[in-house]
């Protein structure tokens, strides 16, 4: 649950993250955060999109974005 003072994420951001979630080229996403998945893909040389990492770091305290 989001803290009361925390605004909901932008719908465009959530759509970008949903597309990342559905991209099998970056490996499975079950049981890890989106940032962990992004970092794993980077370590494997899969070139995940930089804007995804930026958004995840910017909104790291928002579970709607993190998971």
User: Long-range contacts: 60-65, Cβ < 8 Å, 24+?
Assistant: 60/35, 61/6, 62/2, 62/6, 62/9, 63/1, 63/2, 64/2, 64/8, 64/9, 64/14, 65/9, 65/13, 65/14, 65/17, 65/34
pLDDT of amino acid 7: 77
Q: Which domain holds residue 40?
A: 24-65
For residue range 34-67, what is the model confidence (pLDDT) as tens digits? 999 999 999 999 999 999 999 999 999 999 999 8
The total domain count for the chain is 1
Residue 18 lies in a domain: no
Residue 7 lies in a domain: no
pLDDT of amino acid 22: 95
For residue range 3-31, what is the model confidence (pLDDT) as tens digits? 556 778 899 999 999 999 999 999 998 89
pLDDT of amino acid 5: 65
pLDDT of amino acid 8: 84
2 Cβ neighbours under 8 A, 6+ residues apart: 8, 62, 63, 64
Q: What is the pTM for the complete model shown?
A: 0.86
């Amino acid at each position: 649950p989001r803290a009361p003072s925390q605004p909901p994420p932008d719908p465009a951001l959530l759509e970008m993250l949903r597309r990342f979630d559905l991209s099998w080229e970056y490996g499975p996403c079950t049981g890890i955060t989106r940032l962990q998945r992004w970092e794993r893909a980077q370590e494997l040389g899969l070139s995940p999109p930089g804007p995804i990492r930026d958004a995840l770091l910017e909104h790291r305290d928002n579970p709607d974005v993190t998971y």
